[in-house]
Structure 1
């Protein structure tokens, strides 16, 4: 991580990340901690949605993988969250082709595989909007 990029990001905040792959989920946790964010990570959207309700939408960013187990896809989770808390920025990730119509602006799409630098730059871009 570059010091210059870390200086551009907000100093604190809570991020919710939903990713079914445990390695990528751990990558999110570590990267977010290095950038100064607290995070809650989940392997399915239903658990993440429950958490979001408990914290009353108090988070600065949602990162969601499109291909989640349990019937709620990442884009659907983002849509549900934004219906209640429309100002939460979001990043949708996937290693597969995602129909552009499901990526509703201002959500940013980050294609897998991505580098740590790409993840950091995307987080910075979303939070600067």
Structure 2
């Protein structure tokens, strides 16, 4: 499925980004702001989980790196979030190859390094899939 982010604009909502690389985290936050998202960024999943609980799952998108410091990896964070709020769209990223069984259901995997165009296309794809699920 090849989708264009411009077709989905305007996009609003709150995204949670979990990425331990500071420069990439900042770049993702800036890109999401340009698209129309507000975002909360974290370098570990435990802090992001505390935030998600505090906002009672009011989140439009989760972007989580798999290899994170601490005990909770990106895929586990997404699973925990989806147990409570199953409709949150999610993207799992990693610079390493990941076994498909690790990727949570209805989550798109984006392999690093990726371009901003690939990032935006992945966001468009996951949001479009989410809209189709809501309509059916």
Please indicate the TM-score interval, normalised by the length of the shorter structure.
Answer: over 0.9
Q: What's the counterpart of residue 81 of structure 1?
A: 81
Q: What's the counterpart of residue 71 of structure 1?
A: 71
RMSD, matched Cα: 1.1
Once structures 1 and 2 are overlaid, which stretch shifts more, 5-14 or 47-56? 5-14
Q: Is the 8 A contact 1:18 1:41 kept in 2?
A: yes
Q: Counterparts in 2 of 1:11-50, with a 5 A limit?
A: 11-50=11-50
Shift of 1:10: 4.5
Shift of 1:26: 0.6
Structure 2 residues not aligned, in runs of 5+? 130-136
Runs of 4+ more than 4 Å apart: none
Work out the CA distance in 1 between the residues paired with 2:91 and 2:41.
14
Structure 1 residues not aligned, in runs of 5+? none
Structure-2 change in CA distance of 1:103 and 1:64 (3 Å): same
Q: Counterparts in 2 of 1:88-99, with a 5 A limit?
A: 88-99=88-99
Q: What is the total number of aligned residue pairs between the two structures? A: 126
Question: 1:38-72 CA distances to partner (integer Å, 9 max, x unpaired)?
Answer: 00000000000000000000011000000000110
SS in 2 for 1:26: helix
| TM-score normalised by length of structure 1 | 0.94
Structure-2 change in CA distance of 1:78 and 1:10 (3 Å): farther
Work out the CA distance in 1 between the residues paired with 2:23 and 2:74.
18
